[in-house]
């Protein structure tokens, strides 16, 4: 995976370059948005990491120009704790995720590794599905989080001719987040506190924790059911897990910039920005996602 880093602070840019290179990724960097845009055209990266406030051209200006060139590259905005309104603006301009300074060490590599998995799983040669205007698809999904990327890629094949190019990567990532959430917090009943404790330890600890959950008879046989329906004016996904549910009314509103700095609910908030409707049903173990077609 090729990564472009755009950051005007020499020390931070150098630290990020070393972190990304140590993780095994090809990288180039630029000190401002104008040079970043030039490198984007030449380097054609899979993922861009960019600061917001920079001379010559800001990260938001660069993001807007990049989205006019390429709707499929991944863009992660980097901001500070005192500027959540810029994070929300970036997400509305089709940034895919965000990081808050100075947490750019393990959190940076974890986020990059997640997106590397998604990119690796994306089908390079697309099936031509023709002028399908109506269809339904049902899937039963086990608890293996490692399969989520491939499952989402399969689901996106069914939307190839109907969801606009500019929206496809956002919907892809939104489905990834919601399916991951339904398995982790639904079927496997992993709390935010349990996940945070495992991730902040050695990587193997998180893997071991997952293996224990997979092998626990209480969770081992659980499945997530996914129903997809394509209509003339919308794509709709209904995701149902076998967990106990949760208080979905407590999910932070992603339209409020301050909520983007909350300690949990990040994935669901990011997903909420990609769909036209998200409706939780019953006790919260069922969610309907809607993307309207234009």
Of the options 3.30.565.10, 3.40.710.10, 3.40.50.620, 3.40.50.150, the CATH number for the domain spanning 135-292: 3.30.565.10
| Cβ–Cβ under 8 Å, residues 291 and 130 | no
Instruction: Give per-residue pLDDT as tens, 42-82.
Output: 999 999 999 999 999 999 999 999 999 998 899 999 987 66
Task: Say which CATH architecture domain 2-121 belongs to.
Answer: 3-Layer(aba) Sandwich (3.40)
Query: Tokens 């799983």 identify what position?
Result: 121
Ordered by start, the domain boundaries in the chain are 2-121, 135-292
Fold match, 2-121 / 135-292: no
Residue 120 has pLDDT above 90, yes or no: no
Compute CA distances 169 → 94, 187, 188, 243, whole Å: 9, 26, 27, 28
Residue 130 has pLDDT above 60, yes or no: no
pLDDT recorded at residue 47:
96
pLDDT recorded at residue 174:
94
Residues in the chain: 294
Instruction: Give per-residue pLDDT as tens, 82-102.
Output: 678 888 899 989 999 998 887
For 140, other C-beta atoms within 10 Å of its C-beta total 8
CA atoms within 13 A on the CB side of 275: 25
Instruction: Decide: helix, strand or coil at residue 120.
Output: helix
Residue 127 has pLDDT above 70, yes or no: no
């Amino acid at each position: 995976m090729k990564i472009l880093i755009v950051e005007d602070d020499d020390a931070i840019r150098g630290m990020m370059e070393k972190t990304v290179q140590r993780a095994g990724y090809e990288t180039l960097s630029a000190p401002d948005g104008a040079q970043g845009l030039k490198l984007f055209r030449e380097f054609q990266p899979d993922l861009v990491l960019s600061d917001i406030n920079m001379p010559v051209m800001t990260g938001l200006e660069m993001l807007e120009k990049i989205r006019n060139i390429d709707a499929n590259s991944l863009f992660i905005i980097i901001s500070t704790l005192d500027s959540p309104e810029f994070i929300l603006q970036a997400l509305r301009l089709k940034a895919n995720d965000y990081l808050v300074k100075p947490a750019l060490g393990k959190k940076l590599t974890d986020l990059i590794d997640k997106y590397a998995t998604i990119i690796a799983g994306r089908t390079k040669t697309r099936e031509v599905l023709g002028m399908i205007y109506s269809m339904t698809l049902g899937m039963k999904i086990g608890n293996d989080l490692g399969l989520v990327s491939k499952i989402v890629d399969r689901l996106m094949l069914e939307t190839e001719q109907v969801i606009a190019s500019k929206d496809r990567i956002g919907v892809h990532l939104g489905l990834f987040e919601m399916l991951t959430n339904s398995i982790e917090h639904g079927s496997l009943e992993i709390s935010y506190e349990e996940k945070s404790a495992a991730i902040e330890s050695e990587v193997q600890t998180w893997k071991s924790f997952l293996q224990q959950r997979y092998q626990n008879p209480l969770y081992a046989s659980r499945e997530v059911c996914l129903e997809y329906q394509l209509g003339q004016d919308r794509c709709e996904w209904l995701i149902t897990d076998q967990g106990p549910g949760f208080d979905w009314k407590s999910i932070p509103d992603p339209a409020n910039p301050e909520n983007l700095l909350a300690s949990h609910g990040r994935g669901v908030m990011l997903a909420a920005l990609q769909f036209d409707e998200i409706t939780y049903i019953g006790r919260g173990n069922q969610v309907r996602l809607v993307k309207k077609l234009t």
